[in-house]
Structure 1
Amino acid sequence: MSGNDTKRRAAVLGSPIDHSLSPVLHRAAYAALGLEGWSYDRFEVDERTLETFLGGLGPEWAGLSLTMPLKRAVIPLLDGISETAASVEAVNTVVFTEDGRRTGDNTDIPGMVAALRERGIEQVDSAAILGAGATASSALAALGRICTGEVVAYVRSEARAAEMRQWGERLGVEVRTADWADAAEALRAPLVVATTPAGTTDALAAAVPEMPATLFDVLYDPWPTELAARWSMYGGAVVSGLDLLVHQAVLQVEQMTGRVPAPVDVMRKAGEDALAAR
């Protein structure tokens, strides 16, 4: 499955997909691993066209990376999914086995844990999440592995608050919700995970405390965010969306190629260079 002279294909699917860094990361890994026959592309695919796309794939395909809006839409089209993927009802990785099965996994969750561990964050006694979208549920699942106490989610509506509490119950994480208007309070937590779209946390930058702990901001372009820049200026530790992207891609490369370990430093350098060139 991982022979140098074997033609194998992989790709990232989503909509929009033009700005995905996944091809840069995966191709860098293939080059470092000497997988000359491997290719990795990107395809514009939405929920409407996903089933047809999957049906047209031949035996040369090793796997797929999935981004929005496909992470839930793909589940009924698979032969099985991992417990990790099932826990958040989201698949970002599909691996095609030799017997033709399509299996789904979620590498975002262990990727978050690995990105934090790389910065020395093995365990925290409490944490805060900014936002309540799909990434927030993955963040909750990751915190379930490293946070021993309460997670406070700062959200804009009661509907979102109820959703986060439900995810907490499902994932076995103690979740308390708070209004977004009080989000400045989140910045004093031992670990703050920002899962919101670009620009959303800019107004919070002025509220960063003088000795902040750790910020995990899932964005990577544009980078740094105003919040991350102020956090770093005050001496706090910052984990970026690129760190997450690299670590989840490392796990994808390992699953699709069978090569362990994937070259994390090479992949990160490729991602940094690509972002610098934008």
Structure 2
Amino acid sequence: MSRRAAVLGHPISHSKSPAMHSAAYAKLGVDIGYSAIDVTVESLPAFMETVRGDGSWCGLSVTMPLKTAMVAEVDDVRGAAAHLGVLNTVAFEFDGGSAVRRVGYNTDVAGIIEAVRYAGLATTPHAAILGGGGTSAAAIAAVQEMGAGHVDVFVRDVSRAVEAQAAAAAVGISLAVRPLTEASTAVAASDLVISTFPPRAADALADELADQPGTGGGVLLDVAYDPWPSRLAEVWHGHGGAVVPGLEMLMYQAAEQIRLFSGCDVDAAVIDVMCDSVGLPRRVF
């Protein structure tokens, strides 16, 4: 029987996940159809109820704004997702019969770590994160796993950083939530900057950094990938810093999803076709 998987979010038409997943499944020779489905927070419970009784589903990728809301829609939460209260993956596990468990994971944490480890990052980074939502929670956990004891999170509205604060408490890292208007000096001096903002939301900050000659000595991971390069990535690169595209993080977290959905190993040959599907240049893996 052909199996189904999809990426859920709102909006979702821009997603590169269908191209990556479809290329991987074709290379692996497994019959999994993967699509993008527009689902809002309000419509999520009804959608998940339709999925519950359909044995063809093997997995869901979860993007904004559903990463927190999905926690209430699964039967079990494992790994980093259990600590963070934020997930980006739902795998369907069968008990050998008709019963199925919907299990939540967070593969964003591993995706972030893998995406920056080849960029010459210090073992214990002095880090700054832009944004306080679900992806920033994964970024905080990733920074903690890389050895940092403190992280600064810069947000447009300091009252809306609940997910970031909960993530820091869960993984045991010191956190300072600061307004975005204070970001330029701190960001310029950071070993690692992870922007979880949507496209163009960091443009004003980028313009400030363009006028600071000390900007860009560290590594920037900009999760937004359309349009690319972002204004922030252009400025960072222009000052000599290392830039890791968000597509690279997307590829690494997707590789773990593919393993969970298909039960297959994801080797270098699969990584190659995933990169080709979205025009992502290969690093040395």
Same fold by TM-score, threshold 0.5 exceeded? yes
Superposition pairs for residues 118-137 of structure 1, below 5 Å? Answer: 118-121=118-121, 123-137=123-137
Q: How much identity, in percent, do the aligned residues show?
A: 40
Question: 2 CA distance for matches of 1:234 and 1:175?
Answer: 27
1:268 aligned residue: 275
Q: How many angstroms does 1:44 deviate by?
A: 1.9
Equivalent residue number for residue 25 of structure 2:
30
1:163, distance to aligned residue in structure 2 (A): 6.5
Aligned position for 1:203: 204
Counterparts of 1:219-234 in structure 2, within 5 Å, are 219-234=224-239
Separation of aligned partners in 2, 1:197 and 1:27: 25
Q: 1:6-45 residue pairs with structure 2 within 5 A?
A: 6-35=1-30, 37-45=31-39
Which position in structure 1 is the counterpart of 2:190? 189
**Residues 27-52 of structure 1: CA deviation (Å, up to 9, x unaligned):** 010111122x2211122222333333
Quote the residue 2:71 is aligned against: 75
Q: Secondary structure at the match of 1:176?
A: strand
> Structure 1 residues 21 and 163 mapped into 2: Cα distance closer, same or farther (>3 Å)?
closer
What CA distance in whole angstroms lies between the structure 2 residues aligned with 1:78 and 1:228? 36
Unaligned 5+ residue runs, structure 1?
Answer: 1-5, 274-278
- State the secondary structure of the residue aligned to 1:56: helix
Structure 1 position 93, deviation (Å): 0.8
Give the CA deviation at 1:162.
Answer: 7.3
Q: Provide closer, same or farther for how the CA distance between residues 204 and 157 of structure 1 changes in structure 2, counting only shifts above 3 A.
A: closer
Going from structure 1 to structure 2, the CA distance change for 1:209 and 1:259 (only over 3 Å counts) comes to same
Q: Secondary structure at the match of 1:43?
A: strand
After TM superposition, the structure 1 stretch with the greater mean CA deviation from structure 2, 143-152 or 88-97, is: 143-152
Select between 244-253 and 227-236 the one with higher mean Cα deviation: 227-236
In structure 2, distance between residues paired with 1:265 and 1:176? 39
How big is the shift at 1:218?
Answer: 0.9
Give yes or no for contact 1:208–1:231 (8 Å, CA) kept in 2.
Answer: no
Counterpart secondary structure, 1:74: helix
CA pair 52-133 structure 1, distance change in 2 beyond 3 A: closer
Return the letter of the residue paired with 1:8: R
Q: Tell me the CA shift for residue 216 of structure 1.
A: 1.0
Partner deviation per Cα, 1:78-108 (whole Å, 9 max, x = no partner) = 1101131122211211111122111111111
Q: Which whole-Å CA distance do the structure 2 matches of 1:14 and 1:135 have between them?
A: 13
Distance in structure 2 (CA, Å) of the matches to 1:162 and 1:59? 36
Separation in structure 2 between the aligned mates of residue 161 and residue 7 of structure 1, nearest angstrom: 41
Any conservation in 2 of the 1:12–1:41 contact (CA below 8 Å)?
yes
**Counterpart in 2 of 1:276?**
none
Aligned CA distance change for structure 1 residues 194 and 48 (closer, same or farther; 3 Å): closer
Task: Note closer, same or farther for the CA distance 1:182–1:50 as it changes in structure 2 (3 Å cut).
Answer: closer
Cα distance in 1 between the residues matched to 2:74 and 2:177: 34
What is the TM-score of this pair, normalised by structure 1?
0.87
**How far apart, CA to CA, are the structure 1 residues paired with 2:89 and 2:157?**
31
Distance 1:172 1:241 in 2: 26
Q: What does residue 257 of structure 1 align with?
A: 262
Structure-2 change in CA distance of 1:29 and 1:122 (3 Å)? farther
Alignment of 1:75-114 (within 5 A): 75-99=71-95, 100-114=100-114
Structure 2 contact 77–103 (Cα < 8 Å) conserved? yes
Alpha carbons 2:233, 2:243 under 8 Å: kept: yes
TM-score by length of structure 2 reads 0.85
* 1:172-224 superposed Cα distances (whole Å, 9 cap, x missing partner): 11223333222111121111111222223223331362652111111100111
- The C-alpha deviation readout for 1:215-263, integer Å capped at 9, x for no partner, is 1111100111112112122221111111111111111001110111252
SS of 1:178's equivalent in the other structure is strand
